[in-house]
Structures are given as C-alpha cells and as structure tokens.
Amino acid sequence: MTVVVETGIWRLDPAASAVSLRHKTFWGLVTVKGAFAAVTGQGEVRPDGSAAGTVTLDVASLDTGNAKRDEHLRSADLLGADDHPEITFAVRSAERLDGDDVRVTGQLTVRGVSRPLTLTARLTSATAEALALETEFTVDRDQFGVTWNQLGMMRGLTTVTAALRFTRAAA
C-alpha cells in the first residue's frame, strides 16, 4: 500500500527522530557507534509530489558513550566542531519510486566540504499531520577531509542511519 504525503511545509520532530553512525576502527575489529542528540530540519512537499528541505546535525551533540573519544571526534583532527559546528544535508529533490521508496538527492556538507549525495529512503508512515522516513547509507569520510587515521586504525566507510519524523507546520 502506497501512503500519500500532503503538500505543505513540514518540520522535523527532534524528539521522535534519530540519526546515528557506526564505523569500524582498530583495523576492523571494533565498531564505534554514536548518535547525534541535536537534529533539526524542515522541508516542503510540493503539489507535484516532489520535495526539498534540510536536515542539520549539531556536531557537538555526537555521543558515542566515551567522553574522551567524543572530544577527539569533535576536535580539528576529525569533525572540527569549533570551525564547522553543523553537518547538513540539503535536499534538492525527493521523488517517489515504487511503493514507499523515495530517491533523495542533495548536498551533504561536513567540515565545510559539500558533496552530492543520492540515497534511498523508505516512507514508513504518513498522515495529514505527520510523516516518517528511514534510511541507511554510507559515507567516505576522506571525501570530506576527515582523514585522521593514526596507524591505519580507521579504514572504510561510515554508515549513517536516520529515522526522521516530520510534522506539518501550521498554515
């Protein structure tokens, strides 16, 4: 069953949304997991069914459960939170595919470096007042200048998982 999404302005519900990441480290022996506590965003669904918007992550809110590691992740060695406090995904288009899959195309900006990104999300629910999307994709951190890699411990791609709930903005 295909759900219908109402046109209009939608705001991210941060209390009902989650963005997390995982990356293998220590030569692939350990998976580091973390989540962003502060996620904001909004979007617009147009009358033709297409959509655009922005999702923003507060870099300082990244929590892996290890304060020393979190401090290092926020440092200039890695995410550079002092100079680049946000990670943004500016959605240029979002179009329905078969069923409830949505092709989302935009620009991901990390450490001030923007790269095109296309991913597939799944519309998991939609009512006149709320909609929810889920996605998982990988990012090559080297493409964004996140190159610190002492003794070759950190290789490969970072996996990002997002469950986002949007509510309709008042007209």
Q: Shortest CA distance to 109 belongs to which of 119, 97, 117, 118?
A: 117
Distance CA(156)–CA(25), nearest Å, equals 9
**Is 132 in contact with 163 (CB distance < 8 Å)?**
yes
Residue pointed to by tokens 């617009």: 44
Secondary structure element (H or E) that encloses residue 162, with its range: strand 158-168
Distance CA(15)–CA(169), nearest Å, equals 16
134-138 long-range contacts, CB within 8 A, separation 24+: 134/162, 134/163, 134/164, 135/104, 135/161, 135/162, 136/160, 136/161, 136/162
Per-residue pLDDT reduced to its tens digit, 105-160: 999 999 899 999 999 999 999 888 999 999 999 998 778 766 656 544 555 688 99
**Confidence (pTM):** 0.86
Per-residue pLDDT reduced to its tens digit, 29-45: 678 899 999 999 999 98
